């Protein structure tokens, strides 16, 4: 199952696949007792040095001899050691199922064999679910330490770092991988030195820190060159090629690729050549030399065919089709993409690239003027996404599918827009927003691989039928099968409703006021776009490439977070995102429907000439245009019997005066949270604006039990002055920290899932908490606490995009509520409070973090 974390699809090469054949196993130090043991010892030495392809035939022969002798434990040891090479072609779930069976065998009780199975399992799980892999490597580390395998213990720590990187936990990843890297250098473990320098460098490439990455990757390559027994450093070389590509140093990247070809090991030469040729094709593609790119992809595809390496045929076939498209060789492109689609049907357990390839075919048909067929393939692609998401085995797979889905939706959107069908384009992108949001907020615990059920097999067969047939009825039957098997449930949430039945453009326009402008952004490459929607019209504007926009947005956010004022960057982002939109000059209330990194961009801090946009306009955010309209419909409920205000502040005393320091725990790692002494005064001051209708939970009384015991669906305003935590590994466990309740053995943590299960009818929920608007950001969407409150019934949520400074936040919040008490709308009340902080000369860090999610147009 090859799902590539954070990699853009056209740039995918088998870096992680190569990682699967260069992982770590135990170096057995037993004496050579006989031929079988000598063979096993030799294979172990090769595998320890990452030479898995050379070790594989030795393991096969050793397994046969041990079976003949009746030494079942050693035979099992050799047998599972062959899974590393098998992972290149066999479906990963089936390998993990087999390993689980092996682990339960009597012969697996031998300590060394048991440990070997866990190590193999951890390696393969890295490509299946990184959270599982990390847990397995934690077990390996503990057992290795207890048995005195200290080199393995060090390597297991590094593997946990790699898993942490794949999960997005960059802080832990860097600490663990660098620690293992330096331990390997100190212990003269050259193979581990090469691996962890390679993986750390590859991580830096993913973060686009190319110059720093090259320095680290060179160390890995030089170490491998100086050590005759260390395997070919494929990860380091391919990552360095990617880094040079990122720096547009194409000649050097090609030179490195040619050097790599000259030094390739003789074993399994075709597999290595496939990898290098694909990388060269990508370099030529980036340089715009499409003839050369096509030549390299064609050669790579030839090697993949000869090896019957179907994953390679699927991936490189797609790249070749895109290269042909660049030269307007549409028939050749169609032939390539059809081959890729057929190849994917050879590995039905791994259909994850098929939706993207179907979408490529749709674009090609569109260029031939076959619009009806094009739309059919776009719809087939999206139906297949629904099926794959419903049966996604892990959160990692799910998130990568959502990343691909966003790209497919955006291309479909662009195709419809070019045809002048903005209404259909709008509902298409709204459907994407709802689908992504519904899936992001759903709870999907990681599950162990399991034998396919009858329902699983039925859905897989229908997936294959959908790919192979152009009958629209197949898609309908697939949808019914998913519902019948309860893989897709009736979803009554806001995001679920917009996914199943997105609103029409006219329905959304009917919910907009005369002074409102809704901007729905769609980031894509080579160009992005934005729909500017008012109550009386809609217009599409073209914007720069999504990669450029996201890079600038991420950089600007970092500058603000460092408490800097970068006026040049603020103006550049304004010019790219807002300046082309003529309706912006006519409307003052701006509603943003963001995409990608724009979820974390404070639009109010952009600059038009010498003024921040907040000085002339108010800004709010909505997950989608349809959600905004549904929220405004939901507000029609009766509010006469409202209880008014509920204020909660858990950490209210300075540390020296408190008997407890709140802690927020996630997967065994606890964070001590600083007291927020200003929060008590903040909550009490706000209560003064709700005379006779305020309920306060302060300090030790601010427990989850006391909070949930209140009639939450009767409060008009709920203010939570708490710590927040964005869990980048499992977003459904992002949480707010209430006071711990010793009597109930409750640590005070309320995660996203618990919030969604509550019921609110509040006009406003304020999360005066750090990172309450932040979650794991990907090409798909953002998962956060604020959205959970919207789904649970709140009309609007005020939340923060980064850590808040306690004293300034208290002043901002009390000023916000003071403005609300004068019957200002939520948007205007927040804007005026932010303008007061701006007028005091403070940079955007102190005021731009807080934003309104949902309907900001009404007063409370």
Domain ranges for the chain:
257-350, 362-491, 505-627, 640-854
The pair of structure tokens assigned to 365 is 């048909």
Nearest-5° angle of CA 431, CA 848, CA 665? 75
For 455, phi then psi, to 5°, come to -65, -40
Cα distances (Å, whole numbers) of residue 27 to 64, 180, 283, 401? 21, 17, 38, 37
The pair of structure tokens assigned to 839 is 């007028």
Q: What is the pLDDT of residue 440?
A: 61
In 3-state terms, what secondary structure has residue 312? helix
Whole-number Å distance between alpha carbons of 366 and 171: 44
For 26-38, b where at least 16 C-beta lie within 10 A, e where not — what string? Answer: bbbeeeeeeebbe
Whole-number Å distance between alpha carbons of 11 and 115: 36
- Other beta carbons within 10 angstroms of residue 149's beta carbon come to 21
In 3-state terms, what secondary structure has residue 828? helix
DSSP class of 603: G
Cα distances (Å, whole numbers) of residue 567 to 319, 611, 796? 40, 9, 30
| Residue owning tokens 């090479």 | 85
Which segments of 419-526 does DSSP mark as H helices, in order? 422-441, 454-468, 472-484, 494-500, 505-509
Do 257-350 and 505-627 come out as alike in CATH topology? no
Whole-number Å distance between alpha carbons of 53 and 17: 13
For 703-714, b where at least 16 C-beta lie within 10 A, e where not — what string? Answer: bbebbeeeebee
Tell me the pTM: 0.77
Query: CA torsion, points 433, 439, 440, 443, in degrees to nearest 10?
Result: 160
In 3-state terms, what secondary structure has residue 432? helix
Whole-number Å distance between alpha carbons of 473 and 476: 5
Assess contact for 458 and 464: CB atoms under 8 A.
no
Class of domain 257-350: mainly alpha
Assess contact for 87 and 49: CB atoms under 8 A.
no
Whole-number Å distance between alpha carbons of 156 and 34: 30
Whole-number Å distance between alpha carbons of 51 and 47: 5
519's enclosing H/E stretch is: strand 516-522
The pair of structure tokens assigned to 844 is 């955007």
The pair of structure tokens assigned to 382 is 């999206």
- Other beta carbons within 10 angstroms of residue 185's beta carbon come to 16
Assess contact for 281 and 297: CB atoms under 8 A.
yes
For 703, phi then psi, to 5°, come to -90, 165
Which portions of the chain are predicted below pLDDT 50? 1-32, 638, 655-672, 774-782
DSSP class of 536: S
Assess contact for 239 and 217: CB atoms under 8 A.
yes
CATH code of the region 640-854: 3.40.50.1460
Radius of gyration (Cα) for the chain, nearest Å? 28
Distance from the first to the final alpha carbon of the chain: 50
Which segments of 147-268 does DSSP mark as H helices, in order? 150-166, 170-186, 190-206, 210-226, 234-246, 250-262
CATH topology of domain 505-627: Nucleotidyltransferase; domain 5 (3.30.420)
As beta bridge partners, residue 746 has: 741
The closest of 296, 630, 692 to 433, measured between CA atoms, is 630
């Amino acid at each position: 199952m090859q799902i590539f974390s954070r990699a853009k699809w056209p740039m995918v090469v088998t870096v992680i696949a190569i990682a699967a054949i260069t992982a770590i196993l135990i170096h057995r130090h037993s004496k050579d007792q006989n031929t079988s043991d000598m063979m096993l010892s030799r294979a172990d030495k090769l595998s320890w040095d990452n030479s898995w392809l050379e070790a594989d035939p030795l393991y096969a022969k050793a397994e046969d001899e041990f079976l003949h002798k009746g030494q079942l434990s050693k035979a099992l040891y050799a047998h599972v050691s062959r899974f590393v090479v098998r992972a290149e072609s066999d479906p990963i779930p089936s390998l993990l199922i087999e390993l689980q069976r092996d682990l339960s065998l009597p012969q697996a009780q031998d300590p060394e064999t048991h440990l070997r199975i866990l190590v193999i399992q951890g390696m393969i799980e890295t490509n299946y679910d990184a959270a599982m892999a990390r847990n397995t490597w934690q077990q390996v580390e503990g057992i290795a330490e207890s048995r005195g395998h200290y080199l393995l213990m060090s390597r297991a720590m590094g593997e946990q770092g790699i898993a942490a990187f794949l999960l997005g936990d960059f802080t832990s990843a860097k600490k663990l991988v660098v620690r293992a890297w330096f331990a390997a250098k100190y212990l003269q473990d050259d193979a581990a030195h090469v691996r962890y320098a390679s993986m750390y460098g590859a991580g830096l490439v993913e973060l686009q820190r190319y110059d720093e990455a090259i320095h680290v990757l060179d160390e890995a390559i030089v170490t491998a060159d100086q050590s005759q027994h260390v395997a070919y450093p494929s990860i380091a070389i391919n990552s360095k090629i990617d880094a040079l590509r990122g720096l547009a140093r194409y000649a050097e990247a090609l030179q490195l690729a040619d050097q790599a070809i000259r030094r390739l090991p003789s074993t399994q030469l075709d597999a290595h050549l496939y990898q290098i040729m694909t990388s060269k094709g990508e370099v030529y593609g980036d340089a715009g030399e499409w003839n050369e790119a096509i030549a390299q992809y064609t050669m790579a595809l030839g090697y993949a065919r000869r090896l019957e390496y179907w994953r390679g045929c699927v991936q490189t076939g797609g790249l070749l089709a895109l290269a042909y498209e660049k030269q307007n060789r549409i028939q050749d492109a169609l032939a390539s993409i059809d081959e890729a689609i057929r190849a994917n049907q050879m590995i039905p357990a791994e259909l994850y690239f098929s939706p993207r390839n179907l979408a490529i075919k749709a674009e090609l048909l569109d260029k031939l003027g076959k619009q009806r067929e094009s739309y059919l393939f776009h719809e087939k692609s999206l139906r297949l996404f629904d099926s794959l998401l419903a049966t996604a085995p892990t959160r990692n797979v799910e998130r990568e599918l959502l990343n691909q889905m966003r790209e497919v939706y955006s291309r479909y959107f662009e195709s419809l827009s070019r045809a002048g069908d903005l209404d259909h384009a709008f509902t298409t992108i709204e459907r994407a927003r709802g689908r992504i949001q519904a899936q992001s907020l759903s709870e999907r615990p990681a599950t162990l691989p399991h034998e396919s059920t009858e329902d699983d097999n039925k859905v897989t067969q229908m997936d294959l039928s959908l790919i192979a047939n152009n009958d629209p009825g197949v898609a309908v039957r697939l949808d019914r099968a998913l519902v019948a098997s309860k893989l897709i449930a009736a979803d009554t949430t806001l995001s679920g409703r917009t996914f199943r039945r997105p609103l029409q453009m006219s329905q959304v326009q009917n919910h907009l006021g005369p002074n409102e402008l809704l901007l729905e952004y769609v980031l894509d490459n080579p160009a992005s776009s934005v729909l500017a929607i008012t109550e009386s019209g809609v217009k599409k504007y073209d914007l720069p490439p999504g990669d450029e926009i996201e890079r600038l947005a991420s950089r600007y956010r970092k500058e603000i977070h460092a408490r800097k004022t970068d006026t040049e960057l603020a103006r550049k982002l304004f010019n790219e995102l807002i300046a082309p939109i003529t309706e912006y000059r006519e409307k003052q209330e701006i509603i943003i429907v963001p995409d990608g990194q724009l979820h974390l961009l404070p639009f109010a801090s952009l600059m038009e000439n010498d003024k921040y946009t907040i000085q002339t306009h108010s800004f709010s955010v909505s997950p989608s245009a349809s959600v905004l309209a549904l929220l405004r419909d939901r507000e029609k409920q009766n509010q006469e019997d409202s209880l008014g205000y509920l204020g909660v502040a858990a950490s209210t005393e300075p540390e020296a005066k408190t008997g407890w320091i709140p802690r927020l725990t996630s997967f065994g790692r606890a964070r001590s949270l600083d007291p927020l002494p200003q929060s008590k005064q903040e909550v009490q001051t706000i209560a003064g604006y709700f005379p006779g209708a305020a309920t306060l939970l302060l300090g030790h009384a601010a427990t989850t039990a006391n909070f949930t015991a209140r009639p939450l669906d009767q409060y008009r305003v709920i203010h939570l002055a708490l710590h927040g935590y964005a869990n980048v590994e499992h977003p459904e466990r992002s949480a707010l920290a209430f006071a711990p309740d010793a009597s109930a053995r409750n640590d005070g943590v309320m995660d996203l899932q618990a919030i969604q299960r509550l019921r609110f009818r509040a006009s406003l929920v304020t999360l005066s908490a750090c990172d309450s608007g932040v979650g794991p950001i990907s090409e798909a969407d953002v998962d956060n606490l604020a959205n959970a409150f919207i789904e649970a019934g709140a009309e609007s949520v005020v939340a923060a995009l980064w850590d808040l400074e306690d004293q300034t936040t208290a002043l901002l919040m009390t000023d916000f509520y003071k403005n609300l008490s004068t019957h200002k709308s939520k948007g205007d009340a927040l804007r005026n409070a932010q303008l007061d902080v701006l007028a005091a000369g403070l940079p955007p860090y102190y005021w731009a973090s807080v934003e309104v999610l949902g309907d900001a147009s009404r007063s409370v």
